[in-house]
């Protein structure tokens, strides 16, 4: 969805709170007894990832499509547009011939294009947006 987010694997709420306050982030947690304070947090209730995404999209009024596919899935860094010439040798030649638009992560170098995977993701994002507007 292109939302700036960070995954922190810890069972210590204070660690999350410290990071969230330092980086001005909102904490998403499954922990129902998450400690309250000056930090902002949201408890995700559903067990199913799709429904969890709907919960978050509704709560924060996110349009899942507005900034979709603008960040690296690995690094959370904003992607940069690169030309088909620049991807030559970095992706299979049938990909660089078939597609005109490419984006690259300036951090890890991963190259993205509108392939089948992105089409499938787009379909899921559209379903998330639809579910969030209906419920």
Query: Footprint of Zn ion on this chain (CB under 5 A)?
Result: 72, 74-75, 105, 107-108, 110
Determine the Cα–Cα distance for residues 21 and 37; give it in Å rounded to an integer.
Answer: 11
Nearer to Zn ion, 72 or 128 (CB): 72
| Beta carbon of residue 5, minimum distance to Zn ion (angstroms, whole number) | 14
Nearer to Zn ion, 71 or 129 (CB): 71
Can you tell me whether residue 91 is helix, strand or coil? strand
Neighbours of 132 (CB within 10 A): 19
| Beta carbon of residue 79, minimum distance to Zn ion (angstroms, whole number) | 8
| Beta carbon of residue 118, minimum distance to Zn ion (angstroms, whole number) | 16
Nearer to Zn ion, 76 or 131 (CB): 76
| Beta carbon of residue 61, minimum distance to Zn ion (angstroms, whole number) | 27
Nearer to Zn ion, 19 or 111 (CB): 111
Determine the Cα–Cα distance for residues 64 and 66; give it in Å rounded to an integer.
Answer: 6
Instruction: Give 87's contacts (C-beta < 8 A, 6+ positions apart).
Output: 95, 96, 102, 104, 111
């Amino acid at each position: 969805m292109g939302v700036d987010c960070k995954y922190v694997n810890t069972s210590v709420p204070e660690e999350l709170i410290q990071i969230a306050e330092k980086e001005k982030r909102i904490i998403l947690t499954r922990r129902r007894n998450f400690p309250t304070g000056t930090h902002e947090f949201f408890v995700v209730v559903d067990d199913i990832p799709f429904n969890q995404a709907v919960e978050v999209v509704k709560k924060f009024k996110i349009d899942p499509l507005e900034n979709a596919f603008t960040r690296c899935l690995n690094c959370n860094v904003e992607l940069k547009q690169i030309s088909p010439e620049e991807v030559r040798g970095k992706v299979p030649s049938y990909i660089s011939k078939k597609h005109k638009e490419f984006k690259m992560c300036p951090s890890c170098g991963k190259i993205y294009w509108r392939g089948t995977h992105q089409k499938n993701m787009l379909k899921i994002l559209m379903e998330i947006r639809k579910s969030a507007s209906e419920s």
